[in-house]
Structure 1
Amino acid sequence: MRDKATVAIVDDDGSVRETTKDLLDSAGLSAATFASAESFLQSKETCAIQCLIADMRMPGMTGLELHGRLAAAGTPIPTVLITAYPDERERVRALEAGVICFLAKPFTADDLLACVVSALHGPDLA
């Protein structure tokens, strides 16, 4: 039996974490939630994570900084960034850094799930 893909949700907004987790659970994915990038990095679950959904703006480390830190450490995780403050320059910077998707809140369930599928299986299977 194949294990479910595990997706990490890193967002300082508890309601976003929980609704996103519910969406992923209903799609048959396993989700772990974290209130900050720092708590994610300190967790023992990071090696099991196959996709990361991170808020662009959080106190402390941003989602893009988290993505960069993982890549610099040689443990990149396909990343979807979400933001309530969409900015075209940040979007371009994030995509150039290798982020899979950059979604503005509120995003649709279908858009987020398409990004997660792309992150897990590559863009050709999304």
Structure 2
Amino acid sequence: MGASPGCPGDDGAVRVSESLVAVVDDDALVRDAAASLIRSFGYRTAIYPSADAFLEAGDDAADCVLTDLQMPGRSGLELRQQLRERGSTVPVILMTAYPTPDLRARAAALDLVALLDKPVDPDLLSGALARAMG
């Protein structure tokens, strides 16, 4: 059985993927930490301080978007809705420090890959990325 992108193989080496993950979070520490973790899985990253910055960049090259829920301006859910309205099928993973049953229901309606609680569990993020790239 072969290793999936960014997962250690039988020899312990991390397989490098060409897949690009856009990390969108207004908190620079969280954004940089998430990007570093994602790179440790073998994926490439691009970082954005807001949903609007990501949308304005028009980064259609992203294979997946990891976004925070609560940000100034457009929220992570609004980002997902905007991407959908533009016809984008890029997979979206949402992370939040404030999970609620209502949020989980709203997230499910938007067909997110995952809704992850902050602080993000590395194993859950790795699994969500693997599903998104699947």
What's the TM-score, normalizing by structure 2?
0.85
RMSD over aligned CA atoms reads 1.3
**1:65 aligned counterpart, secondary structure:** helix
Partner of residue 6, structure 2: none
Partner of residue 87, structure 2: 74
Query: Matched residue pairs, number?
Result: 119
1:76 Cα deviation after fit: 2.6
Residues 1-126 of structure 1: pairs in structure 2 closer than 5 A: 4-44=18-58, 46-121=59-134
Q: What is the rounded CA distance, in whole Å, between the counterparts of 1:91 and 1:81 in structure 2?
A: 10
* Residue identity (%): 36
Q: What is the rounded CA distance, in whole Å, between the counterparts of 2:55 and 2:124 in structure 1?
A: 26
1:74-106 per-residue CA deviation (whole Å, 9 max, x = no partner) reads 113100000011111111111121111001101
Instruction: Check whether the contact 1:7–1:50 (CA below 8 A) recurs between aligned residues.
Output: yes
The letter of the residue matching 2:94 is L
Q: What is the rounded CA distance, in whole Å, between the counterparts of 1:10 and 1:76 in structure 2?
A: 17
1:16-48 per-residue CA deviation (whole Å, 9 max, x = no partner) reads 11111111111110010100000001114x110
1:47-95 per-residue CA deviation (whole Å, 9 max, x = no partner) reads 1001000001101000011011001111131000000111111111111
What's the TM-score, normalizing by structure 1?
0.90
* 52-61 or 88-97: bigger deviation: 88-97
**1:48 aligned counterpart, secondary structure:** coil
Instruction: Check whether the contact 1:67–1:77 (CA below 8 A) recurs between aligned residues.
Output: no
Instruction: Check whether the contact 1:12–1:35 (CA below 8 A) recurs between aligned residues.
Output: yes
Q: What is the rounded CA distance, in whole Å, between the counterparts of 2:50 and 2:115 in structure 1?
A: 18
| Greater Cα radius of gyration, structure 1 or 2 | 2
Report which of the two has the higher share of helix: 1
Q: What is the rounded CA distance, in whole Å, between the counterparts of 1:97 and 1:112 in structure 2?
A: 18
Unaligned runs of 5+ in 1: 122-126
